[in-house]
A and B are shown apart, each in its own frame.
Chain A
Amino acid sequence: MEMSARWMLVGLLVLAVLIPSVAGAAPQAGKEFPAGKPDFSKIFNEHKERMMNWVQNCERWLERMQEKVNASKLSEESKLRIQERIRNMEANMEQIRAQISNANNYTELRDAVREVRTLWINTSKEMRLVAYENAIAQMDVIIAKLEELADRFESYGLDTTQLRNAINDANSTLNEIKTKIANGEDVSKDLRELKKKIDAAFAEAKKLAREYKPKPSNGIVMANVSGSFELNGTLNALIKGKGNVTVNPESSASRANGTVVAIVVRGNASVSGEGDFKIIAHGNGTLTMNGTGNYSYKECADQKFKSGSFNESVTINFGCGQL
Chain B
Amino acid sequence: MRALPIFLFLCILILGCTAPESTTEKASPTPQNTHTQTPIQTTPKPVETPITTPLATPSEDLGIDNIEKELNETEQMLSELETLENVSFDI
Q: A residues bordering B, Cβ < 8 Å?
A: 1, 4-5, 8-9, 12, 15-16, 19-20, 23, 26, 43, 47, 54, 57-58, 61, 64-65, 68, 106, 109-110, 113-114, 116-117, 120, 124, 127-128, 131, 134-135, 138-139, 141-142, 145-146, 148-149, 152, 191, 195, 198-199, 202, 205-206, 209, 212-213, 302-305
B22 to chain A, nearest CB (A): 14
Asked if B20 contacts A8 (CB within 8 A), the reply is no
B12 to chain A, nearest CB (A): 11
Other 11 A-B pairs with CB < 8 A, given A65-B77, A135-B74: A8-B7, A26-B20, A54-B87, A131-B77, A131-B78, A134-B74, A134-B77, A145-B63, A149-B62, A209-B64, A213-B58
Asked if A202 contacts B71 (CB within 8 A), the reply is yes
Return chain B residues, CB-CB under 8 Å to A19.
14-15, 18
Return chain B residues, CB-CB under 8 Å to A68.
73, 77
Asked if B7 contacts A9 (CB within 8 A), the reply is yes
What separation, in Å, do the CA atoms of A199 and B68 have in the docked complex? 9
Return chain B residues, CB-CB under 8 Å to A65.
77
* B59 within 8 Å of A (CB atoms): yes
A115 to chain B, nearest CB (A): 10
Asked if B58 contacts A209 (CB within 8 A), the reply is yes
Return chain A residues, CB-CB under 8 Å to B78.
131, 135, 191
